[in-house]
A and B are shown apart, each in its own frame.
Chain A
Amino acid sequence: AQSVTQLGSHVSVSEGALVLLRCNYSSSVPPYLFWYVQYPNQGLQLLLKYTTGATLVKGINGFEAEFKKSETSFHLTKPSAHMSDAAEYFCAAIHTGRRALTFGSGTRLQVQP
């Protein structure tokens, strides 16, 4: 089955520390991959996406993600966490033959002062 898995429902880092949020997909054909952020009681904002081309994708707010086909992964990173990064992060994919996004279960990022 085509799915998206996010390891770790909660991640806590200190302000200024590296942020690493994990995402793996399961499909024989690599899907289009996305990371979205959701602040409380709000919709989703696109951080970045991978469709084709360069496997290291840079997004907004200093985030980036690297597509690794051999590991079926698309982990999200940010070198230095800021308090304003605290939110829910969703990894999502558009699998071959589908038009809609399939979402992972989400990871809540907490940033400690």
Chain B
Amino acid sequence: GAVVSQHPSRVICKSGTSVKIECRSLDFQATTMFWYRQFPKQSLMLMATSNEGSKATYEQGVEKDKFLINHASLTLSTLTVTSAHPEDSSFYICSARVQGDPGNTIYFGEGSWLTVV
């Protein structure tokens, strides 16, 4: 079946540095990918919609200059957390919509744990 891969699965970075998380669709093309943030024991909050070849659409309250999203190809979207702070520590999950699927099938990656120290 369709698989979405996220890398890295866990990352620890120092406060003030930047960290990049990759989201790849392995066996399908995805013109649209989504980035979510999940705090412990809470639901998923949509951060932004990543559009291949164009700018991402950010949800209200999400700093676009802090959470940089690039969707350079039909199989890859990246999320860069810039100038990370401890409050950015969270579980980040990407998902990808199967291109051309009228059933709106969306698959999720395994998530990436970010810890900022």
Contacts and interface: CB of A to CB of B under 8 A. Distances in A.
Nearest to A31: B104
Interface string A39-55: 00111111001010000
B75 interface: no
Interface in B51-68: none
A111 B1 CA distance: 28
A104 B93 contact: no
Contact of A32 (B44, B104, B110, B113): B104
Interface stretch (A15-23, A63-71, A74-82, A95-103): A95-103
A51 B46 contact: no
B103 A90 contact: no
A24 B91 CA distance: 26
> By DSSP majority rule, is chain B's interface helix, strand, loop, or mixed?
strand
Measured as residues with beta carbon below 8 angstroms from the partner, the interface class of chain A is 20 to 34
B95 interface: yes
Nearest to B111: A43
A105 interface: yes
A100 B46 contact: yes
Given A36-B108, A42-B111, A43-B110, A103 B44 contact: yes
Interface of B: 4, 6, 32, 34, 42-44, 46, 49, 91, 93, 95, 97, 102-111, 113
29 contacts: A32-B104, A36-B108, A41-B91, A42-B111, A43-B4, A43-B93, A43-B109, A43-B110, A43-B111, A44-B93, A44-B95, A44-B108, A46-B105, A46-B106, A46-B108, A49-B104, A49-B105, A51-B102, A99-B49, A100-B34, A100-B46, A100-B49, A101-B44, A101-B46, A101-B106, A103-B43, A103-B44, A105-B42, A105-B43
Given A43-B93, A44-B93, 4 more contacts: A36-B108, A51-B102, A99-B34, A101-B44
Interface of A: 32, 34, 36, 41-46, 49, 51, 90, 94, 99-106
Please name the 3 residue pairs, one residue from A and one from B, whose CB atoms are nearest each other, closest first. Answer: A44-B108, A43-B110, A43-B108
